[in-house]
Structure 1
Amino acid sequence: MTESWVNSAERIGADLHLELSGPGGRRAALIRALREAVRSGRLAAGTRLPPYRSLAADLGVARNTVADAYAELVAEGWLTARQGSGTRVAERAEPLRHAVRVPRKAPRQAPPPAPPRARGPRHDLGQGTPDASAFPRTAWAASYRRALQAAPTEAFGPGDPAGRLELREALTEYLARARGVRTEPGRIVICSGFAHALRLLFGQRGQGDTGGGVLRGPLAVEAYGLGFHRDLLTAAGVRTVPLPLDEHGARVDRLGRERAVLLTPAHQFPTGGPLHAERRAAVIDWARARGAVVLEDDYDGEFRYDRKPVGAVQGLDPERVIHIGSVSKSLSPALRLGWMVLPERYVDAVLAAKGEREAWASVLDQLALADFVVCGSYDRHVRRMRQRYRRRRDRLVEALAERAPHVEVTGVAAGLHAVLRLPPGTERSAVKAAAWHGIALDGLAEFRHPAAEEQAADGLVVGYATPSEHAYGAALEALCAVLPPG
């Protein structure tokens, strides 16, 4: 049966008549009607659409039907959705209303310009970033205001290269309570993230470094990891030696004469899983025997779902481990705030490498983060996001079990991504198919060290934290549609 809805001017600024008809049910009919309204120009760019509940009530459909229709059109680029701004018609080319007449004797003209392309992928399932729409704006603004009002006058002068004492004190308490880190404020140095920490520790050629970094290679690394970090180390003249991985994490028994080892022990990136307890003890024994140091990348240690908390390796020996963390996964990479918990012997050298004046992390952001941690907002945000990401992980696992049961899902007990194990020889085609359909994700091979010994396994690294809530369902549908058959 054909249904119609006449929208009030108060809701979108102009009357609009929608015809819900045709095959495929009400969701498909609503998508077609809205798409046609945009295409024909009856819904102009920037027009705000009514909330899910209002439109559902007017049309006599379920609220989820409207939410799914909006999400699909956002994913296709017809609509945009931002927190606080609602769902609006995306900026698009003017609708084609009339054919363009070309004079018979017109001079030779250049071909018409190509239609505008959507910015970025339609479905972002890339790893490494949290849901930007979930940033706690209200709580962060409150912390920022309190920090600004309470800041002493000297906070507005040149910054301390170690970072603000208020933040280092807050981190000392938080890391001890939440991650089992043993430290004190004088052994914490604030940085702008993990990559900045690597640059300070190892230096970088061509960047004006005079001391060549605090640490020297060769550096043992896990056989799978971020190529960006390997490139950064290579630029600093550091040779990296890959360690094989198995179901218990890095094979630290293969460590030899390296001067340091870089690990992701809380949740191996990207394959998943914590470093086994025996191997945690073994790597500390190796560092003590060799006079070496362990670099602990605690990149998403807060997000765990089906297992007990895993403490930091640093707690086993604070003088043999450099613990590195940031808020890039827990809050936002836009804040550019991280920290190094250092053995005492490295503190002065790291501060010297950083320089006399803090040139990276904003002092005001540091003060705001300190308040955010102390007042409990950080803990509340992490708990809330842990629940949200767990639900997303469960939806991913359920969708794959129903649509692609031949695909094994691994590494999902913690973190913000999953690894989808594919049949041999299908990874490259799956990545191409995903790109063709506007899905951003990574193949597992992208993270493999070039000198790794073990045979590469086929897989996809799928980030389930990146999409906003309303776009996640459409992203899962698109993902399942491009997976290779069993």
Structure 2
Amino acid sequence: KASREVLTEIGSADLGYGDPRGVPALREALAVWLGRTRGLTVSPDEILVINGVAQGLVLLARWLEERGRTRVGFEEPGSYGGRVHLQRWGMTTVPVPVDGEGLDVAALDASGVDAVVVTPAHQFPTGVVLSPQRRRELVEWVRAVPHRLVIEDDYDAEHRYDRPPVAAVKVLAPDQIVHLGSVSKTLAPAMRIGWLVAPSGMQEELVEARYWLDLASPALPQITLARMLTSGAFERHLRLVRQRHKARRDALLEALGEHLPAVRVGGVAAGLHVLATLPDGVDDAAVAEAALEAGIAVHPLSRHREGEGPPGLVIGYAATTPDRLREAVRRLAPLIS
């Protein structure tokens, strides 16, 4: 609906070569949205619109590499896609353990890296929220050395069901934290819209790098998202999908409890997936392969770590109805056994 409205109103000036930072209307709307929902006080000029978090990681990898900084801390376990993306652009990812409070900052300090990627709002794949103590420790770590950098991937921050929202970590050390977000998990990955808010000393170089990479993001999706943000349609959409996702999550948890009572389930208070930790000795990759052959798509936890660890399955539920989720778990149970 927002796209149709935009298409009837835009003029030829909206379809020229745009500002590499993004369409002004979207940056203005995002500044308001980030201030209200993430606690970030930013001006529209500080926001760089990007083609999803993936492009943000590319820009940051290039920025770090130009300074000879090719080692970056990465959560262990952590997103396979994010890790491989950084490696593809010349970064060496150094595993930093994650526990029940989030990133282990003492281990980060011992690793010797001066930059780290974290998902503090809803860690992928464990679903852990970075605890208040760890947030303070992370800020102390980044402030201890002037050139250290935290890259905050605000993954799944909008999808929460049984807990209140948490503010962005960038609020605590704005001069040394980059904030990344997108609409890939709230609207659709195909929109290819994200945002990057960098410390002031990095902004100009990142905008220039973005220009030489692909000039700018497509204007029509940006204007459409700006319309959704300013009209309230985006927030109404989020309220709707939160209710729907909560019902689907509850159906998945009920089915796991019935068919796989020995499996420990985590990350249930927010997000679009749960982590089911399997009994020791189970080959999670083999289970995931057998499940796929049976028409059930799950990720083995081992795919998202570089070292050894307990087996598990990352089970997404947002795109599947409650009945299909129950049936999938019923069929998945004997494969694990």
- What TM-score, normalized to structure 1? 0.65
- Structure 1 position 200, deviation (Å): 1.1
**What runs of 5+ residues in structure 2 fail to find an aligned partner?**
none
Contact 2:65 2:91 in 1 (8 A): no
2:21–2:216 contact (8 Å) kept in structure 1: no
Distance of aligned partners of 1:443 and 1:150 in 2 relative to their CA distance in 1, 3 Å threshold: same
How far does residue 370 in structure 1 lie from its aligned partner after superposition? 0.3
Instruction: Return 5+ residue gaps in structure 1 as ranges.
Output: 1-140, 205-210
For residues 199 and 11 of structure 2, the distance between their equivalents in structure 1, rounded to whole angstroms, comes to 30
| 2:170 equivalent among 311, 314, 320 | 314
**For residue 196 of structure 1, what is the aligned residue in structure 2?**
55
Q: In the TM superposition, what whole-angstrom CA distance separates every residue of 1:358-379 from its partner, at most 9, and x where no partner exists?
A: 5462101100100011101111
Residue from 20, 24, 30 that aligns with 1:165: 24
1:101 is aligned to: none
Report what 1:259 is aligned to. Answer: 114
Amino acid at match of 1:245: V
1:214 Cα deviation from its structure 2 partner: 7.4
Larger Rg: 1
SS for the counterpart of 1:202 is helix
- Matched residue, 2:201: 345
Against the structure 1 CA distance between its residues 444 and 339, is the aligned structure 2 distance closer, same or farther, given a 3 Å change threshold? same
The root-mean-square deviation of aligned C-alpha atoms, in Å, is 2.0
Query: How many angstroms apart in 1 are the aligned matches of 2:274 and 2:248?
Result: 11
Measure how far apart 1:270 and its partner are.
0.1
Q: Which residue type is aligned with residue 127 of structure 2?
A: G
Distance 1:360 1:482 in 2: 47
What SS class does the counterpart of residue 355 from structure 1 fall into? Answer: helix
Q: Secondary structure at the match of 1:295?
A: strand
Match of 2:259 among 403, 424, 439: 403
CA contact (8 A) 1:270 1:419 kept: yes
In the alignment, what sits opposite 2:327?
A: 474
Contact 1:273–1:413 at 8 Å: present in 2 too? no
Residue in 1 that maps onto 2:83 = 230
Deviation (angstroms), 1:477: 3.2
Give the whole-Å Cα distance in 2 for the aligned partners of 1:469 and 1:214.
49
Do structure 1's residue 283 and structure 2's residue 138 form an aligned pair? yes
Deviations 1:218-258 (A, max 9, x none): 21111111222222222222122111111101101222332
- State the SS of the aligned residue for 2:125: coil
1:85-96 correspondence to structure 2 within 5 Å: none
Deviations 1:4-57 (A, max 9, x none): xxxxxxxxxxxxxxxxxxxxxxxxxxxxxxxxxxxxxxxxxxxxxxxxxxxxxx
- Specify the code of the residue in structure 2 equivalent to 1:187: E
Tell me the CA shift for residue 447 of structure 1: 0.2
Aligned match for 2:313, one of 446, 450, 460: 460
Distance 1:345 1:222, change over 3 A: same
- Residues 251 and 430 of structure 1: is their aligned pair in 2 closer, same or farther, counting only changes over 3 Å? same
Q: Kindly provide the CA deviation profile for residues 392-449 of structure 1, in whole angstroms up to 9, marking residues without a partner as x.
A: 1111111111122111111111100011111111124422331231211111100002
CA contact (8 A) 1:160 1:357 kept: no
Counting matched residue pairs gives: 333
TM-score, normalising length: structure 2 = 0.93
Distance 2:77 2:303 in 1: 9
- Structure 2 residue 71 is the aligned partner of structure 1 residue 218: yes
> What letter is aligned with 2:21?
A
Residue type of the alignment partner of 2:89: A
Q: Following TM superposition, by how much is the alpha carbon of 1:356 offset from its aligned partner in structure 2, in angstroms?
A: 5.7
Change in 2 beyond 3 A, CA 1:466/1:216: farther
Secondary structure, counterpart of 1:353 in structure 2: helix
Deviation at 1:260, TM superposition (A): 1.0
Following TM superposition, by how much is the alpha carbon of 1:168 offset from its aligned partner in structure 2, in angstroms? 0.5
Go from structure 1 to structure 2 and tell me whether the alpha carbon gap of 1:192 and 1:369 turns closer, same or farther (over 3 Å shift): same
Which structure dedicates a bigger proportion of its chain to helix? 2
2:160 and 2:271 in contact (8 A); partners too: yes
CA change 1:463–1:381 in 2 (3 A) is same
| Amino acid across the alignment from 2:38 | R
1: CA distance between counterparts of 2:68 and 2:327? 46
In the alignment, the residues of structure 1 paired with residue 323 and residue 250 of structure 2 have an alpha-carbon distance, to the nearest angstrom, of 16
- Percent identity over the alignment is 40
C-alpha spacing 1:393/1:341, structure 2 compared with 1 (3 Å) = same
